[in-house]
């Protein structure tokens, strides 16, 4: 017997996969903080080389590339953070670094939108970052490229242009914590599973968007992530 529900549960958001008619249903979104030394410095922080740290966004914060979105509510300082995103396709729990890449299904270009003013207020009061980080359309993402097609993570360029001007420019070898290190570490605390995404942190050059802004973020070898902002109603 099917159990009666008060309302239809929301469907998992899905991400297109390059060269595949099947899509990737999203389960959880993990985000890494301060994973490029130059970005940590521009925010007045030091990289913690003891261990990576994380925050999360709900799956309902996801927004696909190509969208035009309203300027987010409750902020006067919404920032872009261009990121390399790892899509998990197999379970991983307490995995060694040497085995961690088996859990990877593919990679995508993503932007971690941040209500910087709310994040800063939370930091000042030693409160959680949720209001600054987890809100509708805050996890922008483009189509996933399968890992075997992308190849090894090396010195691929990562960049973001804002209204045609380059704002962020780095390469993936500048990450403080590598993808296998991140997966191995996260898997000590979570049963990673298919559908999980890891936003691996942003390089230096983050900045504010305004209504009318057009962002384009690229990682060499991946489909770019593109978004435009309009004045909220």
Q: Which residues bind Mn ion (CB under 5 A)?
A: 81, 112, 202
Tokens representing 174 are 């500048």
Q: Where are the alpha helices (DSSP H) in 16-72?
A: 37-42
Give min distance, CB of 148 to Mn ion, in A: 27
Nearer to Mn ion, 202 or 216 (CB): 202
For Mn ion, which is the closer residue by CB, 112 or 134?
112
For residues 202 and 147, what is the distance between their CA atoms, to the nearest angstrom?
A: 20
Q: Which is nearer to Mn ion, 18 or 120 (CB)?
A: 120
Q: Which is nearer to Mn ion, 17 or 110 (CB)?
A: 110
Task: For the CB of residue 125, give the shortest distance to Mn ion in the complex, in Å.
Answer: 20
Helix (H) or strand (E) holding 185: helix 179-186
- Is 178 exposed, middle or buried, given 0-12, 13-18 or 19+ CB atoms closer than 10 A? middle
Helix, strand or coil, per DSSP, at residue 99:
helix
Query: Are the beta carbons of 67 and 227 closer than 8 angstroms?
Result: yes
Q: How far is the CB of 133 from Mn ion (least distance, A)?
A: 8
Nearer to Mn ion, 81 or 134 (CB): 81
For residue 18, the Cα-to-chain-centroid distance in whole angstroms is: 18
- Minimum CB separation of residue 31 from Mn ion in Å reads 5
Minimum distance of Mn ion from residue 21's CB (angstroms)? 31
Residue with the closest Cβ to Mn ion? Answer: 112
Give the residue with the Cβ less far from Mn ion, 112 or 218: 112
Cα 144–chain centre separation:
12
Rounded-to-integer distance, Cα 41 and Cα 57, Å: 24
Assign 3-state DSSP to the chain and report helix, strand, coil percentages, each to 5. Answer: 20, 40, 45
Least distance (Å) between residue 200 CB and Mn ion:
9
């Amino acid at each position: 017997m099917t159990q009666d529900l008060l309302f239809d549960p929301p469907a998992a958001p899905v991400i297109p996969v390059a060269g595949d008619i099947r899509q990737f249903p999203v389960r959880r979104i993990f985000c890494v903080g301060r994973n490029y030394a130059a970005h940590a410095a521009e925010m007045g922080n030091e990289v913690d080389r003891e261990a990576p740290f994380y925050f999360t966004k709900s799956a309902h914060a996801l927004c696909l590339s190509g969208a035009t979105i309203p300027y987010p509510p409750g902020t006067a300082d919404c920032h872009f953070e261009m990121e390399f995103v790892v899509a998990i396709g197999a379970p991983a729990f307490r995995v060694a670094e040497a085995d961690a890449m088996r859990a990877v299904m593919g990679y995508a270009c993503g932007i971690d939108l941040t209500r910087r003013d709310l994040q800063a207020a939370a930091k000042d009061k030693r409160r959680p970052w949720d209001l600054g980080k987890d809100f509708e359309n805050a996890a922008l993402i483009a189509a996933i490229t399968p890992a075997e097609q992308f190849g090894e993570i090396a010195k691929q360029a990562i960049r973001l242009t804002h209204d045609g001007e380059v704002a962020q420019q780095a390469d993936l070898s500048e990450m403080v914590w590598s993808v296998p290190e991140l997966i191995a570490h996260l898997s000590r605390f979570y049963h990673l599973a298919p559908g999980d995404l890891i936003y691996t942190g942003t390089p230096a050059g983050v900045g504010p968007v305004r209504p009318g802004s057009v962002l384009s973020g690229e990682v060499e070898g991946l489909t770019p992530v593109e978004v435009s902002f309009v004045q909220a109603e």
